[in-house]
Amino acid sequence: MELQLNRPIVFIDLETTGTETLTSRIVEISMLKINPDGREEIITTRINPQIPIPPEAIAIHGISDKDVANKPVFEEYALKIREFLEGCDLGGFNVKKFDLEILETEFRRAEIEFSKENRYVVDVQTIYHKLEPRDLQAAHKKYCGKEIEKHHSAEHDVRATFNILKSQLEMHNELPHGINELHDFCNERRPASWIDSKGRFVWIDNDAVMNFGPHRGKSLSYIIKNELGFLNWMMTKDFMPDAKKIVSDALNGQLPSHDI
């Protein structure tokens, strides 16, 4: 069955300078518009991010500083992007947590109004994860070819987990066999901009900045002066100890320092 549309939907994909949505910049944007009559329109352009593109980002998308040196900066292209998205719903792969957050940040930085409010957002990654089970039983059936006996018995489950790993190592040649290498494979490196282990606070231009909630993007020094109640609220909730220590220190007049 074909996609049923009442208005156009635009699928968005970004290549960026990094993965941190508050600080990363767009280096390439592609937008595919599907109209209700099936007609397609596409815009793809590279953007000068106005900051150096890190080597780890170049290794992923292959776009270097030289490739974007003569391209427009986001401010110069922002109105065209907004016009293309006008009156459209939005779609993409991991678009909710990545592409749209970066796009909204770029619009804010350019001081141009844009919002995903009053639009439907279709995230193809979410659909994929909901349709493809991700639990232990599904993994055992995929890699070991059979159901787990006495599923949710702790001993059966722990043996099933080990058997899955052995099958994964046999099936996927790209997987390392050493524990330290498997650790690195399983755990993404913490972004350098994070101050605490969960990235509740991040460094932006050497300032400690809130990275979640209604005060996301505001400096900790600003929040201390204007939104003290929010920090007191954090101290009563289940945040990680390192985030709470940042808050506690700030409440006691000690802001984190960024040693460069």
Q: Please report, for the chain, the start and end positions of each structural domain, with discontinuous segments joined by +.
A: 9-127, 134-186, 201-251
pLDDT of the residue at 67 = 96
pLDDT above 90 covers what percent of the chain?
57
Tens-place pLDDT, residues 72-90: 999 999 999 999 999 999 9
Question: Which CATH fold topology does 9-127 show?
Answer: Nucleotidyltransferase; domain 5 (3.30.420)
This prediction has a pTM of 0.65
The 3-class SS string of the chain reads CCCCCCCCEEEEEEEECCCCCCCCCEEEEEEEEECCCCCEEEEEEECECCCCCCHHHHHHHCCCHHHHCCCCEHHHHHHHHHHHHCCCEEEECCHHHHHHHHHHHHHHHCCCCCCCCCCCEEEHHHHHHHHCCCCHHHHHHHHHCCCCCCCCCHHHHHHHHHHHHHHHHHHCCCCCCCHHHHHHHHCCCCCCCECCCCCCEEEECCEEEECCHHHCCCEHHHHHHHCHHHHHHHCCCCCCHHHHHHHHHHHCCCCCCCCC
Condensed to tens digits (0 to 9), the pLDDT of residues 197-219 reads: 888 999 998 899 999 888 989 99
pLDDT (tens digit per residue) in 105-160: 999 999 999 988 889 999 988 888 878 878 888 899 989 998 887 665 677 777 88
Q: Is the pLDDT of residue 163 over 80?
A: yes
The percent of residues above 70 in pLDDT, for the chain, comes to 97
